[in-house]
Structure 1
Amino acid sequence: MPKKFEEFSLNRQILNAVAEAGFTDATPIQEKAIGPVLSGQDLFGIAQTGTGKTAAYVLPMLMKLKYAQGEYPRALILVPTRELALQIEEQVKLFSIYTDLRTVVIFGGIGPKTQKEKIKEGLDILVATPGRFLDLYLTGDINTRSLQFLVMDEADKMMDMGFIGSIHRILEVVPRKRQNLLFSATMSDLVQKIAGDFLKNPLTIEVAAQATPAQTVTQILYAVPNFKTKINLLQTLLKDDEQYKRLIIFCKTKTVADNIFSFILRRFGEDAVRVIHANKGQNTRINSINSFKEGQVRVLVATDIASRGIDVSEVSHVINFDVPIIIEDYVHRIGRTGRAYNEGTAITFYTESEKYYINKIEKLIRQQIPEEPLPANVFVEETPYDERQAMAREIDAQKRKEDPDFKGAFHEKKNKFPANVKKGKGNNRNNKTNQKQRR
């Protein structure tokens, strides 16, 4: 039996906010984490995405902070992306609605002027990306002397994005006496290193095997020969608007994301789709996510920048148009569906050159992903020569990565001629002989 929120040592203001948000039963990570955080322990939480880990640390933090106090932040929540920062700010405000606690969110990509003004007004909780935090700290706009809590969320993504140097700089400027909480979906060597630097005698909580997808997500693979056939398969699936009610399509690059967006726009109209990636302005990205959350559009096309920053409870499907090269991102992508006890489906298209990453993903999640044949009405295109060559090169590169001695079709060709003989010319004796024969 799941534990009820009413059974935790939370005050009435927080419990009322939780009830109004529609939550009654705690998820496993919440059940295991809330008590220890309330008791002041450092905590290392390993939990798959979509398990409610934000509330697992926000609720006890709100309980311990209780009310607005002073001008400087008393809690700092570090996150890898602006989308996740906005999502966490939303959750903090949702659960603190009946308190006077003040929350400010800061991130890069926009000018710092408004963010500086909000900080100057006074705050209790600061949600920040590492780069923007350091920028404003170095300009003297953030004072860390009152910090009591330091939370690092999505630590594995921060390590993937190269934030380890920034994290170490932040650890140098925050008070030593503080409570530390670290959450990660996967356990890499870098995450273990930062945990060792960051946490003091932590309680480790693991609510599922590392990098295990949520049990509420059904996974499906489709083997697809080329890009055009992927497009045909996508079109076939999207025609079923009763089953595919609200979906996120993940792509490897901004160019592919824009191409898919244009394709869906032409086929299904402007009200059907939005696209977000790093080249889109901050306001455009926020508006696109909000339109998707509110059900104004059915499809959101995204690169991995958004794979951990979208919290929508009724995403029916995630489609991996491309297999992610950073294999841990697979878990985070498919975690956008099957959230909050809802069921969802994650579909992955893969070509012959992407099979390498599928094998690595299956090893990571310790399960085989079921494969289905292409629907009969999907037209299978012939693979163009250039695409065949590109895939063959990719497969060669993969084999060389596993075996440095591997010589594929595209390895450097050896010089057929001796070093002392120029290509196209024989030695002097042969040249003279050839000249006589020509005469």
Structure 2
Amino acid sequence: MTFEDFQLNRQLLNAITDLGYDVPSPIQEQAIPLVMGGHDVLGIAQTGTGKTAAYLLPILMKVKYAQGKDMRVLILAPTRELVMQIDTAITELAKYTDIRHVAIYGGLGPKTQIETIKAGIDILVATPGRFMDIYLKGEIGVKELKTLVLDEADKMMDMGFMPQIRKILEVIPSKKRQNLLFSATFPPRVEELSHEFLEFPKKVEVSPQATTAEMVNQILYEMPNFKTKINLIGMLMKDIERFKRVIIFCRSKEVADNIFKFLARKIVPENKIKVIHANKGQNTRINSMEAFREGNVQVLVATDVAARGIDIQMVSHVVNFDVPIIYEDYVHRIGRTGRANHTGEAITFMTEAEEYHIKKIEKIIKMEIPRQPLPDELVIEETPFIEKQEMLREIDAQKKKEDPNFKGAFHEKKDRRVKSKEKQEKQKKQMISSGRAPKNTSYRGKSNGGSSRRNTNKK
């Protein structure tokens, strides 16, 4: 099948040719005819499968040209990075049309965004929060809205956007509106949203939900502690020929900053590594992503803010420095590599405390991640006492989560100490009551007046 078979207009076909697309991907092949036919569509497809173009091409075909002042299409996405990615895709696919579009998101002042909307738009791409902010100012007209898209719906649920989405659904017209929902996974919360949002939808699922990319080779290293993780990431990044373009994912911005400082100081030239997380300014994040996309940066250290929907080709490796605790994010992280029929490698570091999360991930992806022995030349550090205690506490918390009656090693130690102290107190009281209180104790010599026998004798 070719894109010609969809009966798209010549402007879109020329843009597709410019982008170098030869044949439609499975999600495009199935979804494009359904969207063009006016159906509500529920699309389940992992990242890197071409789902953005799967809904944009039929939408652009229906919009065709600039018309009126109010938006006719609203696309909602969970992060500013994904909003920008979708807007860029519209720019590329609609390059031979006069269709007007704008991306709105937080982190920047709304003034310029509002001015663009006032001038007239056909397609609006937005994060839920920024959409509601500008809508409540009375600056977004919704009466002409004909198509609503929710992209990365599972991530929206994870990020707590459900109340905002419900408010948006309340304020936009529902009559004669086509609704499209796309998600990489289909957990119960997304299923619940699909029932509220879609009417008699056509479901398109191009791969079993929460499956990992077939083009990605997965490796798992069992690590004793944080310092050994640092040693291994340094060892891997020295191999420039193998690790040509790498994303290192961390659980927190503090860890991301620490890895960045270590690698920039000792391993990777400072101009070849960037770090992005929620504390970085919007322009810094955009510039870092573009530098990585263009190949000017070898290593990008990131929190999960960059895990979803960022389409960067030729990423050779993804390294999970920390195991994600939102298990579906594992799929999205490793989906940054192995894109567009290119092979890639995903490497995960796992401590004893993170094994619990790995087992949950393996259950979701329906496979065991292959373990690999640590390299012989790796320097394995001794685990500091504090880190060891923290891991043991975390393991106890995990066991208690599975079994509410489990008290844990720390709880048992505490119980033993309390019981021992209570036993000692009881024995002392028994000795005092029987007149056999031991010498040189705080219980000896206390008479009814509160005076000491020893002091009385001296007097």
Q: TM-score, normalised by structure 2?
A: 0.92
Compute the displacement of 1:271 (Å): 1.4
Task: Report the equivalent of 1:57.
Answer: 55
Compute the displacement of 1:113 (Å): 1.0
Task: Report the equivalent of 2:143.
Answer: 145
Which segment drifts farther, 420-429 or 246-255?
Answer: 420-429
Which segment drifts farther, 209-218 or 418-427?
Answer: 418-427
Do the aligned partners of 2:41 and 2:201 also contact (CA within 8 Å) in 1? yes
In 2 relative to 1, CA 70–424 (structure 1 residues): closer, same or farther, beyond 3 Å? Answer: farther
Q: What is the alpha-carbon distance in structure 2 between the residues aligned to residue 282 and residue 132 of structure 1?
A: 14
Q: What is the alpha-carbon distance in structure 2 between the residues aligned to residue 261 and residue 66 of structure 1?
A: 46
Q: What is the alpha-carbon distance in structure 1 between the residues aligned to residue 145 and residue 355 of structure 2?
A: 47
1:205 lines up with 2:210 in the alignment: no
Compute the displacement of 1:416 (Å): 2.0
Do the aligned partners of 1:81 and 1:309 also contact (CA within 8 Å) in 2? no
1:189 lines up with 2:188 in the alignment: yes
Q: What is the alpha-carbon distance in structure 1 between the residues aligned to residue 158 and residue 269 of structure 2?
A: 36
Task: Report the equivalent of 1:72.
Answer: 70
Where does structure 1 lack aligned partners over 5 or more consecutive residues? none
In 2 relative to 1, CA 422–142 (structure 1 residues): closer, same or farther, beyond 3 Å? Answer: farther
Task: Report the equivalent of 2:351.
Answer: 351
1:178 lines up with 2:177 in the alignment: yes
Task: Report the equivalent of 1:266.
Answer: 265
Per-residue deviation, residues 168-215 of structure 1 (Å, max 9, x unmatched): 100011111200000011111110111000000000010000100111
Compute the displacement of 1:385 (Å): 0.8
Per-residue deviation, residues 76-118 of structure 1 (Å, max 9, x unmatched): 0000000000001000110000000011000112211111111
Compute the displacement of 1:429 (Å): 3.1
For the pair shown, which has the larger CA radius of gyration, 1 or 2? 2
Task: Report the equivalent of 2:40.
Answer: 42
Where does structure 2 lack aligned partners over 5 or more consecutive residues? 445-453, 455-459
Q: Which amino acid aligns with 2:97?
A: T
Q: What is the alpha-carbon distance in structure 2 between the residues aligned to residue 258 and residue 344 of structure 1?
A: 25
Which segment drifts farther, 12-21 or 373-382?
Answer: 373-382
Which segment drifts farther, 375-384 or 142-151?
Answer: 375-384
Per-residue deviation, residues 342-374 of structure 1 (Å, max 9, x unmatched): 111111010111011111111000111111111
Q: What is the alpha-carbon distance in structure 1 between the residues aligned to residue 63 and residue 252 of structure 2?
A: 42
Do the aligned partners of 1:337 and 1:346 also contact (CA within 8 Å) in 2? yes
Compute the displacement of 1:433 (Å): 2.7
> Pick from 413, 418, 429: which aligns with 1:426?
429
Q: What is the alpha-carbon distance in structure 2 between the residues aligned to residue 154 and residue 427 of structure 1?
A: 69
SS of the counterpart of 2:243? Answer: coil
Compute the displacement of 1:340 (Å): 1.3
RMSD: 1.8
In 2 relative to 1, CA 380–175 (structure 1 residues): closer, same or farther, beyond 3 Å? Answer: same
Q: What is the alpha-carbon distance in structure 2 between the residues aligned to residue 272 and residue 311 of structure 1?
A: 20
Q: What is the alpha-carbon distance in structure 1 between the residues aligned to residue 359 and residue 126 of structure 2?
A: 35
1:83-94 superposed matches below 5 A? 83-94=81-92
Per-residue deviation, residues 306-342 of structure 1 (Å, max 9, x unmatched): 1014210110100000000000100000011111111
Do the aligned partners of 1:75 and 1:125 also contact (CA within 8 Å) in 2? yes
Per-residue deviation, residues 249-279 of structure 1 (Å, max 9, x unmatched): 0000000000001011102221120000000
SS of the counterpart of 1:346? Answer: strand
SS of the counterpart of 1:410? Answer: helix
> Pick from 105, 110, 113: which aligns with 1:107?
105
Do the aligned partners of 1:78 and 1:153 also contact (CA within 8 Å) in 2? yes
Identity %: 61
Task: Report the equivalent of 2:384.
Answer: 384
Aligned residues: 437
Q: What is the alpha-carbon distance in structure 2 between the residues aligned to residue 131 and residue 339 of structure 1?
A: 30
Q: What is the alpha-carbon distance in structure 1 between the residues aligned to residue 425 and residue 432 of structure 2?
A: 14
SS of the counterpart of 1:51? Answer: coil
1:209-224 superposed matches below 5 A? 209-224=208-223
Q: Which amino acid aligns with 1:231?
A: I
Do the aligned partners of 2:431 and 2:437 also contact (CA within 8 Å) in 1? no
Q: Which amino acid aligns with 2:236?
A: L
Task: Report the equivalent of 1:32.
Answer: 30
In 2 relative to 1, CA 208–429 (structure 1 residues): closer, same or farther, beyond 3 Å? Answer: same
Do the aligned partners of 1:289 and 1:310 also contact (CA within 8 Å) in 2? no
Q: What is the alpha-carbon distance in structure 2 between the residues aligned to residue 430 and residue 113 of structure 1?
A: 82
Task: Report the equivalent of 1:302.
Answer: 302
Task: Report the equivalent of 1:416.
Answer: 419
> Pick from 147, 159, 162: which aligns with 1:161?
159
Do the aligned partners of 1:252 and 1:323 also contact (CA within 8 Å) in 2? yes
Q: What is the alpha-carbon distance in structure 1 between the residues aligned to residue 311 and residue 201 of structure 2?
A: 28
Do the aligned partners of 1:47 and 1:206 also contact (CA within 8 Å) in 2? yes
SS of the counterpart of 2:254? Answer: helix
SS of the counterpart of 1:433? Answer: coil
In 2 relative to 1, CA 183–417 (structure 1 residues): closer, same or farther, beyond 3 Å? Answer: same
Which segment drifts farther, 405-414 or 260-269?
Answer: 405-414
1:317-332 superposed matches below 5 A? 317-332=317-332
1:332-351 superposed matches below 5 A? 332-351=332-351
Task: Report the equivalent of 2:249.
Answer: 250
